[in-house]
Amino acid sequence: MHIQFSQSRPQVARLVAQVTDKDKVPAGLEKPFAEGMEAARFKGKAGQVFDGFVERDGQVLRLALAGLGDKSDEARLANCEKAGAALAAKYQSSGDEELVLDLADSGLTAEQAASVLLGLRLRNWRYDVYRTKMKDEQKITLATVTVIGAPEGTEAAWDDMAHVAEGVEFTRVLITEPANILYPESFVERCRERFEGTGAELIVLDEAQMEELGMGSLLGVGLGSERESRILAIRWDGGEPGAAPTAFVGKGVTFDTGGISIKPGPGMEDMKWDMGGAGAVAGAMLALVGRKAKANLVGVVGLVENMPDGKAQRPGDVVTSMSGQTIEVLNTDAEGRLVLADALHWTQEEFKPARILDFATLTGAMIIALGHEFAGVFSNDDALASQLHDAGEVTGDRNWRLPIGPAYDKLINSPIADMKNIGGRAAGSITAAQFLQRFIADGTPWAHVDVAGMVWSDKPGRTWGKGATGYGVRLLDRFVRDTLEG
C-alpha cells in the first residue's frame, strides 16, 4: 500500500474516510448521513465503521466513518490502529483503488494519526502470490491512501513508522512462504536482497564453517535434509562506536517434520512457520536499519530444515555443541533448542553482546499455557523482562513472564551427557528455557521469548487478517526505542 499526503482531495477519488471519537458527530455531515449513523447505532467505538453515500460539489462520494473509541482511553494508539485496520478490512476488495483519509476534524496528534495509517497498511497486507483463480470481488484493489488535513508532524511520524510496517510485512512474507520456496539458503538470499544498500553488514556461515567451529548441536538437526543449514548475522552499528551491541537471536527451522520423532500428519503443514523467530528477527532488523536506529544491534538466525532420512540424527544420539557441552537428544522434535544452543554461543563469542533476546516458536506447551494471546518470556534479568512487557503493552505484541530456576533445571540433567534436550511432560516450556540458559554466559542479561502461539493466527486480529501476524517486529522496535535510544 502506498500512502501519500496532499493538500486537497483528488477529484478522481470516490471513497473518503474520516475517523471520529466515541459519541462525537463530525462537523459538516449531510443530514441523511448523520441520521443514518443514528439509525445504525454507530457510536464511534474503536474499530466500528459506518458508511453511506453523499453528494458534494456535484459528485457522489462514498463516505466512511471509523470509530476511535473514548478519547481518554489509555489504549488510544491501539484504538487508532483499530480504526485504520477496520477501514482496510472493509474496503481492501471494494473495487476502489484509492481511499482519501480526511483528518482535518479528527483532533488527533501526529503520532495518533500515524497509528491510524499503520493500522491501514498492516491490515491491508495479504499474500496472493500463489492464487491464480480469484474472482474479481476477492482481489485486493485498495492500493493508495491519500491523507488530507493531517495534523502537523504527521508526515514525519509516518516516514518513521513506515519502516516498521515494512519490517512487519517482510516477516509476514517469510513466514507465509512454503518450505519448498523458503529454506535456509533462500532465506539468506531474501535477506541479501532486502538489506542491499542499507548500510547493514551481513555475515553468513555455511556448513563447513559451522563444522569447523564445532556446531554439532545445530548441524545435527539438519542431517536428514537435502537443504544445507546456515547461520546469518545482520549487524547494524548505529550507536556509540565500539559499544557492545544488543543481540537478537532467532530460531529458523524452515520446516519441521519432527525428524525421526516424526510429527502426526494432520497440521504438519503449519510447520513452515517454525522459523517464526528468525522471521521476527530479520523483520525487526529491517525496520531498525531502515529507520537508522541509534543503537548497535546484531540479529542472528540459525537456519535449518528438520527432516527424517537415513542420515538423520536418532533419539538417543549425543551431540557436542560449540560451547563444548554435550547433549543427549531424546526427542528429535525438540530441535529448536539445539539450533539456538549453537547460535547463542556463537553470538556471544563473535559479538560480545551487552544483552541477548532470543525469539523462537519453541514449544507447543506454550500454547497450552498462554493460548494465542501472549508470548511467554523467560529471563535472568528482571529489568529486561519488564522492558519487554512494557513494549508489548504499547505495540500489541503482548508477552507474559514465566519462572525459571534450579528446580526446573534439574529436570534436564542426563545420565550420560551434560544435559538432555527434553524434560518430562511437566513444565515443558520452562525446561526448554532452562536448556537455553545453559548456553548464556554468566552475567549476560538474557530473555527468551517463546512465540509459538503468536506468529500465525486462524482469525483476524488488531492489524492482521488470517495468517502470519508479524509478531515480534514491533516489540523489538519499541524495545530499542525505549531502552537503547530513549
Active site residues: 263, 337
> Residue 415 — φ and ψ, nearest 5°?
-75, -15
Q: In a 3-state reduction of DSSP, which class is residue 162?
A: helix
273-286 b/e (C-beta count within 10 Å ≥ 16 → b)? bbbbbbbbbbbbbb
Which three-class secondary structure state does DSSP give residue 190?
helix
Query: Would you call 458 helix, strand, or coil by DSSP?
Result: coil
Nearest to 455 by CA among 469, 435, 438: 469
Calpha distance 59→49 (Å, rounded): 22
Q: How far apart are alpha carbons 421 and 353 in whole angstroms? A: 25
Phi, psi angles (nearest 5°) of residue 317: -65, 155
* Burial tier of 400 (Cβ tally within 10 Å: 0-12, 13-18, 19+): middle
What is the dihedral sign for C-alpha 370, 375, 380, 386?
negative
Residue reference for cell 545482520 = 234
Distance CA 281, CA 284 (A): 5
Residue the block writes with cell 496532499: 6
Distances (CA, A) of 458 to 91, 372, 461: 21, 10, 9
How far apart are alpha carbons 289 and 292 in whole angstroms? 5
Helix, strand or coil for residue 325? coil
Instruction: Read off the C-alpha cell for 150.
Output: 493531517
Here the cell at position 177 is 512462504
Strand order in the sheet with 375-379: 201-205, 230-237, 296-306, 246-256, 355-360, 446-450, 375-379, 399-401
The Cα-based distances of 202 to 10, 188, 289, 295, 469 in angstroms read 43, 9, 12, 17, 25
